[in-house]
Amino acid sequence: MADDVMEKIVSLAKRRGFIYPGSEIYGGLAGTWDYGPLGVELKNNIKALWWRMFVQNRDDMYGMDAAIIMNPKAWEASGHVSGFSDPLSECKICKHRFRTDQIADPKVCPDCGGKLSSPRQFNMMFKTSVGAAEDESSVVYLRPETAGGMFVNFKNVLDSLHPSLPFGLGQIGKAFRNEIAPRDFIFRSREFEQMEVEYFVRPDTWAEHFEAWRKAMWDFIVAIGITKEKVSELEVEDGDRAHYSKRTIDFEFEYPFGKKELYGLAYRTDFDLKAHSDTSTKPLTYAEESEEPFHPHVIEPSFGVDRTVLAVLTSAYAEEGEGDEKRVYLKLAPMVAPIKAAVSPLLKNKPELVTKAREVYLALKKEVPQIMWDDNGNIGKRYRRQDEIGTPFCIVIDFDTLGEKPELTDTVTLRHRDTGEQERLSISDAIARVKDATVLR
Ligand code: ATP
In a domain, 85, yes or no: no
CA-CA-CA-CA dihedral for 438, 46, 22, 127, to nearest 10: 160
Domain ranges, residue 405: 339-438
In a domain, 386, yes or no: yes
Q: Looking at the structure, tell me whether residues 197 and 284 fall in a common domain.
A: yes
Name the phi and psi angles at 277, rounded to 5.
Answer: -65, -45
Report how many domains make up the chain: 2
Q: Interhelix angle for 305-316 vs 2-15, to 10°?
A: 110
Domain boundary among 251, 280, 314: 314
Nearest C-alpha neighbor of 300 from the set 264, 275, 274: 264
Residues having CB within 6 Å of any atom of ligand 1:
145, 177, 179, 188-189, 192, 194, 261-264, 302, 304, 306-307
| Ligand 1 centroid from CA 187, angstroms | 9
In a domain, 117, yes or no: no
**Which strand (E) or helix (H) includes residue 411?**
strand 411-416
The pLDDT profile of the chain, 441 residues, written as one tens digit per residue, is 566 999 999 999 999 999 999 999 999 999 999 999 999 999 999 999 999 999 999 999 999 999 999 999 999 999 999 989 999 999 999 999 999 988 999 999 999 999 999 999 999 999 999 988 777 789 999 999 999 999 999 999 999 999 999 999 999 999 999 999 999 999 999 999 999 999 999 999 999 999 999 999 999 999 999 999 999 999 999 888 988 899 999 999 999 999 999 999 999 999 999 999 999 999 999 999 899 999 999 999 999 999 999 999 999 999 998 888 889 999 999 999 999 999 999 999 999 999 999 999 999 999 999 999 999 989 999 999 999 999 999 999 999 999 999 999 999 999 999 999 999 999 999 999 999 999 988
Residue 112 sits at the vertex; the CA angle it makes with 109 and 117, to the nearest 5 degrees, is: 30
Q: Give the residue, out of 146, 179, 188, with the most ligand 1 atoms within 8 A of its beta carbon, to mutate for a pocket test.
A: 188
In a domain, 284, yes or no: yes
Residue having the nearest C-alpha atom to atom 8 of ligand 1: 261
Q: Looking at the structure, tell me whether residues 178 and 32 fall in a common domain.
A: yes
Q: Looking at the structure, tell me whether residues 180 and 308 fall in a common domain.
A: yes
Q: Does pTM surpass 0.85?
A: yes
Residue having the nearest C-alpha atom to atom 16 of ligand 1: 304
Q: Which atom of ligand 1 is nearest to the CA of 194?
A: 16
Residues 6+ apart with CB under 8 A from 272: 78, 147, 151, 198, 244, 298
Mapped onto helix, strand or coil, the DSSP state of residue 196 is strand
In a domain, 238, yes or no: yes
Q: Looking at the structure, tell me whether residues 378 and 308 fall in a common domain.
A: no
Q: Which pLDDT value is given to residue 301?
A: 98
| Ligand 1 centroid from CA 91, angstroms | 26
The CATH number of residue 51's host domain is 3.30.930.10
The CATH number of residue 394's host domain is 3.40.50.800
Q: Looking at the structure, tell me whether residues 270 and 309 fall in a common domain.
A: yes
| Ligand 1 centroid from CA 124, angstroms | 12
Mapped onto helix, strand or coil, the DSSP state of residue 176 is strand
Q: Which atom of ligand 1 is nearest to the CA of 266?
A: 11
